[in-house]
Amino acid sequence: METAPHDPAFEAPSVEELQPLFPSYDIELFIAQGGMGAVYKARQTSLDRPVALKILPKEFGADPQFRASFQDEAKAMARLNHPNLIAVYDFGDVEGMLFIIMEYVEGATLHHSAHGKKIEQTEAARLAAGICRGLAHAHQHGILHRDIKPANVLLTASAQPKIGDFGLARPVGAHHGDELIFGTPGYSAPEVLNHPERVDQRADIYSMGVIFYELLTGRLPGETWQPPSSVIGSDPAFDPILRRAMHPSPEMRYADADQIADDLESAASKIRGPLRRQAGATPATPGRVPVAGARPVRTTLPSAKSSGSPAAIAIVVLLVLGGVAALVAVALNGGNEAPPTARPSVPESTPAPKPEGATPRPPREKPAPNPANSGRQRPSEGSGRDLAGNDRPRDREKPMPKPDPEPAPAPEPIPEPAAPEPIFDTFSFLDKGRTALARDAGELFQEHEKELLKNVERFERGLKRVVRRVDRQHRDRGEALIEQVMAPIRGNNRLTKLPIDKLPGFLEGYSGELREVFAEALEDQEKIDRELESQLEPLRDAYVNGISRQVDALREKDDPAAVAILETEARKTADSLPRFIRILKGEDPDPPAEPEDAPDGEEQNKKD
């Protein structure tokens, strides 16, 4: 229902008080009460089916605007019929009290079942895909939910998700006069708070992405993108799906909830076996979700019949938890080091290490020389002289070479002590600062793009002026050449190099003018870029100074780990304006370096 102030004086009527008002239903028990009213389990006598009865305080029914919104909501929900949506059967008004009859779901909310827990990734993908299917059905009927969150998703006894509480639902394109801000902090898309008049189905998709991120990692995402694979070691195939679903700009998100469901199901189908399971991940079955961290997670084999011994299963569990722990350790250390590559269970061409304290096996003795061959000499050998004719001692039998001693087993590497964890929440601190600055820089980037577009248009007009002077016989070819040149430039509104390497014969006489047009446009582009840089400098100074002030405060609190993180961030940003621009655009500020092209064989030979 539409959000309204909670009335502390509201008391849910008892089953006995409510029963006379609903003669067509047998009201069986009271379920819960909240700020929006109370919910009861009942049975519709005519169809002999269980239903959920939700009533609202009479004060809500006395508000004409709220009453109209309530009716719109009920009618909108009644048009929906999907296994991942809670069905609406009826609604009305009894003695000034609004009510709605809904499908009864035997189960708990997703919030109750999975809050704070890391759900096994294929199970999380299944739940998220189901939510997407329900949303897609609602969107196809022109209905937005606008408050997708775990508390509004119920899980059936078979762990099937069902979206309910379309209390903030409204037809697509409908607007309230005052454009109230709906939604829930943490799950709402940026435009819900900043531009509620522009909200469409992509806001629901954003919220669903947050839910999936939370199911995978056990926590809400920060305002700066951090892939779940780097947070918890989940499969990297989910990273681009989540990145697109949760993109700050609606234009960059999925527009169709069915499409993200397809992508989730496809990624999950390629994950084989239990070794992909995250440490601490749990199933999302309602009512049986163990407390996170209470005991080690037991990983089962994928087949229905377990054929492995308890010892073998324990080894698999240790391997899984050990691998994930390594990934998490790298993530906590800043991701600067690649995780160690797991060794195969049976290394090829590698002797197995010997246990400590084991007695080395004595070397195998070689057979003694044959006495029959002891008198033989090579043709060049004499009995008393060397090859130069000098006297030498009589040859003695050469001793047998000693076998190479077997190498001692390599000592076990001593693990480096884990880096200290910061006490201060540096991640949230940087997120808040970056978000505030990105908001301030948004108009600057828009103006910059407009100026670049104008410059490209001027460049195109300059080219056309030159081509118009060509004789009519070649003018069409010249215009076609301009179109060929401009096509890639229009894609990003930037000039990088002279687009025409070799002019056709009919334009050779105009090469000087064409190069002049290009040089002028390139100079103007550089001026536009410098103008943006000068406008961004104060924002960068504010960002770095804010970090420096926080560093000074943390030094007094003896938090060296947080100080090191923030000092690194301040130094990198102060040294690189392009890095700061990536921060403002919501991109990875420290992308991996692109590998350099390897020299071909001929060049390599020259170097050698």
Active site positions, annotated: 147
Amino acid letter for position 358: A
Strands (E), 125-197: 143-144, 153-155, 161-163, 170-171
Residue 544: C-alpha distances to residues 145, 434, 438, 548, 576 (Å): 40, 11, 14, 6, 12
Nearest alpha-carbon partner for 219 in 7, 478, 469, 431: 431
- Cα(80)–Cα(99) distance, rounded to whole angstroms? 18
Q: What are the Cα distances from residue 23, in Å, to 15, 20, 96, 183?
A: 12, 6, 17, 36
How far separated are the first and last CA of the chain, in Å rounded?
76
CA dihedral 416, 418, 420, 423 (to 10 degrees): 180
Integer Cα distance of 217 and 215 in angstroms = 6
Compute the distance between CA of residue 101 and CA of residue 53 in angstroms, rounded to an integer.
5
Residues sharing a CB contact under 8 Å with residue 518, sequence separation 6 or more, in sequence order = 459, 495, 498, 499
**DSSP state letter for 385:** B
Query: Two tokens at 367?
Result: 């057979």
Spatial separation of the C-alpha atoms in residues 255 and 39, rounded to whole Å: 34
Longest dimension (CA), the chain: 132
- Give the 3-state secondary structure of 72-134: HHHHHHHCCCCCCECCEEEEEEECCEEEEEEECCCCCEHHHHHCCCEECHHHHHHHHHHHHHH
> How many Å apart are CA 196 and CA 440, to the nearest integer?
19
Joined tokens for residue 186: 């943490």
Question: Which of 7, 83, 67 minimizes the C-alpha distance to 38?
Answer: 7
Distances from the Cα of 304 to the Cαs of 301, 413, 471, in angstroms? 8, 40, 80
Tokens, residue 410: 């390599």
Collapsing DSSP states into helix, strand and coil, what is residue 44? strand
CA distance 484 to 494: 15
**DSSP characters over 558-599:** T-HHHHHHHHHHHHHHHH-HHHHHHHHTTS-SSPPPPPPPPP
